[in-house]
Amino acid sequence: MTDHTPHEPTPKTPVVRLIPKAEARAIRHGFPWVYANELVTDRRTRNLTPGTIARLEDANRVPMGTVTVNPASKIICRMLDQDPEAMIDQAWFAARLSRALAHRARLYAEPYYRLVHAEADGLPGVIIDRFGDLAVVQPNAAWADMLINDLCAALQEVTGVSTVIMNGTGRARTLEGLDEKTDVLAGTAPEGPVPVPMNGATYMADVMGGQKTGLFFDQRPNHAFVAGLSKDARVLDMFSHVGGFGLAALASGAVSVLAVDGSGPALALAEEGGAAMNVSDRLTTRKGDAFDVLAALAEEGETFDVVVCDPPAFAPSKPALDAGLRAYERIARLAAPLVAEGGYLTLCSCSHAADLTKFRNASARGIGRGGRRGQIIHTGFAGPDHPLLPHLAESGYLKALTFRL
């Protein structure tokens, strides 16, 4: 029998230390990051391999927990465990994943959800979306890249999934100094898109080549809310991706849906979903730039009972905030005239830099500039499989406002 009792940090476990002015209290109370200007960065610390597991001490050398260190990132440390002697191994991953799974299993009857939402689930920089017997992992932090085999083994052990895909693409990895790569870690890659049941609709997720993990689970409650307004309605789904709002609306009895996106492959997946639901006769797709299509629809004299605009993050960072808010205002200005009298306009933002108040003000200004007046009837956020860490505003990125015009 293996004896696991000695948890003494080996001499090899590096120690990193906060500078005297660092906000140690915030970290003790749950803030998960240490910024580069809060850490003593001597030559030894600067030479640590990105992703190294270390022990964090405050300026008085009092241990604070186990962290991962990336000297190449502005977020130089991410807190993994309040226990300074924690062993970050397969068993540790399995404990975190079991806790995450227990929450999702309570929420959803079928295994289609976000299983791990990074810091909020105690796995910093790690996203895991589950599609039945398949899971897609996004290791957006160096430590998860280094320990991907332990993570994958624990994921299979806890959930029983047979296929694990690693999607290592996107801006977050670039900020960590990581290469982009997609890999099959376990099982075999699916030959085509994976069907995903959600809100009565069937979505097709391209888990190997699609955006992010292939599907956005975060909008599930907002899809459902808009679908509830869509019975017997003509619906315009702008930035529809694989048919997010549109297919849910069709499942709820929309008369027609026009799905617009700049990506031909995404629209093809929306059409495939529509075919799987037997609603192809009520679904039309149109490829084009959203701003151009909104202007063209106005010229064509088109109106809709429900209009949804769910654009990509126009303000992904603070420097992009002003330009992003102008873009949100412009979308609202162009979309508002397309809404029939007494109809509904849903505007979404996944920019964490644009908080709810700023986004709401930009949307209202745009509606006013579009010659309309509206009342807000619903404010939506990401679903409960995307928990929010109260200390980290970034984890509450998604906002959805529904106006009646």
Tell me, yes or no, whether 383 and 256 share the same domain: yes
Tell me whether residue 342 is in a domain.
yes
Beta strands at 339-349 and 375-380: parallel, antiparallel or unpaired: unpaired
For 33, the domain range is 15-81
Looking at 139, 155, 186, which one is the last position of a domain?
186
pLDDT band at 175 (very low <50, low <70, confident <90, very high): confident
pLDDT band at 6 (very low <50, low <70, confident <90, very high): very low
Looking at 81, 114, 138, which one is the last position of a domain?
81
Looking at 58, 81, 104, which one is the last position of a domain?
81
Tell me whether residue 9 is in a domain.
no
Tell me whether residue 158 is in a domain.
yes
What average pLDDT score do residues 82-88 get? 95
Beta strands in 172-248 (DSSP E): 181-186, 194-198, 201-205, 234-238
Of 152, 309, 348, 350, catalytic: 350
Question: Which residue in the block uniquely carries the two structure tokens 């604070």?
Answer: 64
What average pLDDT score do residues 66-87 get? 95
Tell me, yes or no, whether 97 and 172 share the same domain: yes
Taking each helix axis as running N to C, give the angle between helix 220-228 and helix 244-251, from 0 to 180 degrees, rounded to the nearest 10: 50
Beta strands in 176-303 (DSSP E): 181-186, 194-198, 201-205, 234-238, 256-261, 283-287
CATH number at residue 108: 3.30.750.80
Tell me, yes or no, whether 42 and 102 share the same domain: no
Tell me, yes or no, whether 325 and 283 share the same domain: yes
Tell me, yes or no, whether 182 and 212 share the same domain: no
pLDDT at 224: 97
Tell me whether residue 4 is in a domain.
no
pLDDT at 192: 92
Those residues with Cβ within 8 angstroms of residue 25's Cβ, 6 or more apart along the chain or in another chain:
none
Tell me whether residue 10 is in a domain.
no
Tell me whether residue 308 is in a domain.
yes
Tell me, yes or no, whether 109 and 146 share the same domain: yes
Tell me, yes or no, whether 206 and 285 share the same domain: yes
User: Which residue type sits at 106?
Assistant: R
Structure tokens at 63: 């241990």
pLDDT at 317: 84
Is the backbone of residue 62 left (phi > 0), alpha (psi -120 to 50) or beta? beta
CATH number at residue 70: 2.30.130.10
pLDDT at 385: 97
Tell me, yes or no, whether 44 and 135 share the same domain: no
pLDDT band at 173 (very low <50, low <70, confident <90, very high): confident
What average pLDDT score do residues 38-48 get? 93
Percentage above 70 pLDDT, the chain: 97
How many domains does one find in the chain?
3
Tell me, yes or no, whether 356 and 375 share the same domain: yes
CB count within 10 Å of CB 80 equals 22
Query: Chain-wide mean pLDDT for the chain?
Result: 93
CATH number at residue 253: 3.40.50.150
Beta strands at 201-205 and 194-198: parallel, antiparallel or unpaired: antiparallel
pLDDT-wise least confident of 92-101, 143-152, 310-319, 381-390: 310-319
The verdict on whether 309 is a catalytic residue reads no
Tell me, yes or no, whether 271 and 157 share the same domain: no
Question: Which residue in the block uniquely carries the two structure tokens 């309309």?
Answer: 372
Q: How many residues does the chain have?
A: 405
CB count within 10 Å of CB 60 equals 9
State how far the alpha carbon of 268 is from the alpha carbons of 20, 198, 248, 259, in Å: 56, 18, 17, 11
pLDDT-wise least confident of 100-104, 208-212, 223-227, 332-336: 208-212
Tell me whether residue 99 is in a domain.
yes
pLDDT at 244: 93
pLDDT at 2: 45
Residue 197 pLDDT > 80 = yes
pLDDT digits (tens, 9 = 90+) for 259-313: 999 999 999 999 999 999 999 999 999 999 999 999 999 999 999 999 999 999 8
Q: Please give the Cα distance from 246 to 240 (Å, whole number).
A: 7
Tell me, yes or no, whether 240 and 317 share the same domain: yes
Percentage above 90 pLDDT, the chain: 82
pLDDT digits (tens, 9 = 90+) for 347-364: 999 988 899 999 999 999
Tell me, yes or no, whether 208 and 229 share the same domain: yes
Tell me whether residue 29 is in a domain.
yes
